[in-house]
Structure 1
Amino acid sequence: MLDVRRLRLLRDLDRLGTIAAVAKAHSYTPSAVSQQLAVLEREAGVRLLERTGRRVELTSAGAVLVRQAERVLSALEEADAALATVRGEVSGPLRIGAFPTAVRTILPTALVTLGREYPALELMVTELDPVEVPEALRERRLDVALVNDFDLLPVAPDDTLDAVELLDETVFLAVPADDATGDEPVARYRHSPWIAGSPGTACHAVTLQLCRAAGFSPVVRHHADDFDAVLALVAAGLGVSLVPRLAASRPPSGVALLPLELRRRTRIAYRRGAQDHPAVNAFTTAIRAATVEHVRR
């Protein structure tokens, strides 16, 4: 019988590319990962890995087993969800990941609702950038999370995760109020300093992509990941920046918000197979109600 934990290591080797990366993801030593994969090969009765120089690659049999491993892991999530449904009570830990804007706006209301309706749930929130969410879900550091992307820079589907839509919002160009114009707003500020998220974040990448589409490369003078800080910098006349509607409900004086055709899309993500878990369903219901209420206000 194949061991599920070893199947997960093989799946992660295919995803991460090196034994060292798999070891880091699971807090193992590289030697321990190699030993576990060797045991998996003996269990499978066929060679799963081959070395090419200093790299390890999957054989055709290893690639087949990885595809089957995804089905097995998804089936285990479904089994866990089914058992939780049979138990009836919505209880136990629920590890939630969310990006900073959501933590500040829609998430608190949802958490209050969950705490009131399901007192046996142990709610734990981690603030993180959406690009970090898939790995955190796969590594079971999170159970459910809010992620987002932009229509100009969509995120590729992930075979290990599922997601449902939550919010589609306008993105604004925040500019100093005394310098606001609605004529081709992005190109209008080609010579202005820009404020963008930290390199590696979706906000940073979409800023570069949007400006390039308008025919120029922006001079990013400041990096900030908190939109309150971004708007304060804009109000001080230190640059212009992209700001989604969720973060722009109360802009400070001195800031004008110019609507763009750019859209940001927020989704609720979880491991494939977990969609019917009572705790995931409870969170989905609560965060949707909180989002509707926030947008209405």
Structure 2
Amino acid sequence: MLDLRRMRFLYEFQQRGTLAAVARAYSYSPSFISQQIATLEREAGTALLRRTGRRAQLTPQGELLATRAGEILDRMERASAELAAYADVVTGTCRIAVFQSVSHTVLPRAIAGLSARHPQLRVEIVEREPEQGLFETAAREFDLVIAEQYPGVTRPRRSGLDHVTLGEDAPFLVTARSGPLHVTTLAAGESLPWIAEPRGTASRIWLTQLCRAAGFEPDVRYETNDLVTHLRMIEAGLAVGILPQLILASMRADVALHRLPLTAGRELFSAARETTVDLPMLTVVRAALAEAFDAAMAMGQPGVEPDADPCQCGQAAASRST
């Protein structure tokens, strides 16, 4: 008889690529995972891993068994979702992977609403970059991930995950309100220092593309994932940058905001495994996130047009264009 727990380790190896990665995901040692798969090989009566030097690869039999293990896990998740639909109250633990600007704005309001309406539901939040969060949700480490998509910067769609749009988040050119770093257009930032997220992130790729379209390569002197640091550095007159409306709605700062000549902003969306989308807990969590996102966006509508006078971050303009 094949042990399902050991089969899951094999499936995780198929997804993650190394025994060390599986061990980290489950807080075990690589030697323990290796022992478990060796025991599974004895149960199956065939070799499941082929070792070349210090690396291991699945044999054809290993690929087959890992794929079947994934199918079994899918069926178990579907069965759990079907059973949960009969419950009178929403219960369980929903683990959500989020990135920073969402955690500052949308999550507090969403979790407060969920606590009031569904007190038996436990929500756990872990900060992850969107790409990592998508992978780990597909690998069953999270139940839901909130991610972002920038115009023209696409990422591969992971099979087995759905895609539900939360909304669109408009970006702004953010500068000091006065001084040498106060500019009103993207092109005027050619000779100025920039602050941006690290190389390789979707937002950094997108910012670089925007600047190149404006005719220059941005001088990125400061790199950090912390958007609050972006805002404070800009406020101090040390850099210029591009920040989304969602973070600007939650942070008071004495900065100038300028609209960018874009037809679309970044898309925020949630993704869950297709086998779990009917879980009542995911239904209510997604509804709470959508409500909180709409409320956050309504709070922070700066209403600044390109080349217009700056306004204070978070201040809604009475004459906002529609």
Whose strand fraction is larger, Structure 1's or Structure 2's? 1
- Counterpart for residue 257 of structure 2: 256
- The aligned counterpart of 1:107 is 107
Query: CA separation of 1:171/1:142 partners in 2, compared to 1, >3 Å: closer, same or farther?
Result: same
- Selected match of 2:285 from 255, 267, 283: 283
Please report the RMSD computed on the Cα atoms of aligned residues, expressed in angstroms. Answer: 2.7
Contact preservation (8 Å) 2:174, 2:255 = no
Task: Find the residue that maps to 1:13 and give its secondary structure.
Answer: helix
Give the aligned partner of residue 78 of structure 1. 78
Task: Name the structure 2 match of 1:120.
Answer: 120
Query: Counterpart of 1:137?
Result: 137
Question: Corresponding residue for 2:314?
Answer: none
Structure-1 separation of matches of 2:27 and 2:222: 35
Q: Alpha-carbon deviation of 1:216?
A: 4.8
Unaligned ranges ≥5, structure 2: 300-322
Report SS of the residue matched to 1:23.
helix
1:246 corresponding residue in structure 2: 246
In percent, how many aligned pairs have the same letter? 35
- Segment of structure 1 superposing worse, 212-221 or 243-252: 212-221
CA contact (8 A) 1:131 1:202 kept: no
Q: How far did 1:177 drift? A: 4.2
The answer to which of 198-207 and 74-83 deviates more is 198-207
Matches within 5 A, 1:1-297: 1-137=1-137, 140-178=140-178, 179-182=182-185, 185=186, 187-198=187-198, 201-211=201-211, 216-249=216-249, 252-261=253-262, 263-297=265-299
- On the 8 A contact 1:11/1:66 being kept in 2, the answer is yes
Deviation at 1:138, TM superposition (A): 5.1
Cα pair 1:234 1:240 within 8 Å, conserved:
yes
Q: Does the CA contact (< 8 Å) of 1:171 and 1:260 recur in 2?
A: no
* Distance of 2:86 and 2:37 partners within structure 1: 35
CA contact (8 A) 1:172 1:260 kept: no
Secondary structure, in 3 states, of the residue corresponding to 1:203?
helix
How many equivalent residue pairs? 294
Give the Cα separation in 1 of the matches to 2:23 and 2:213.
Answer: 40
Structure number with greater CO (CA < 8 Å, separation at least 6) is 1
Q: Letter of the aligned partner of 1:291 in structure 2?
A: F
1:245 Cα deviation (Å)?
1.8
Q: Matched residues in 2 for 1:120 and 1:48: separation? A: 42
Task: Give distance in 1, aligned partners of 2:96 and 2:78.
Answer: 19
Q: Is contact 2:145-2:270 (8 Å) kept? A: yes
Cα distance in structure 2, aligned partners of 1:134 and 1:254: 33
Q: Per the alignment, in what secondary structure is the counterpart of residue 265 of structure 2?
A: strand
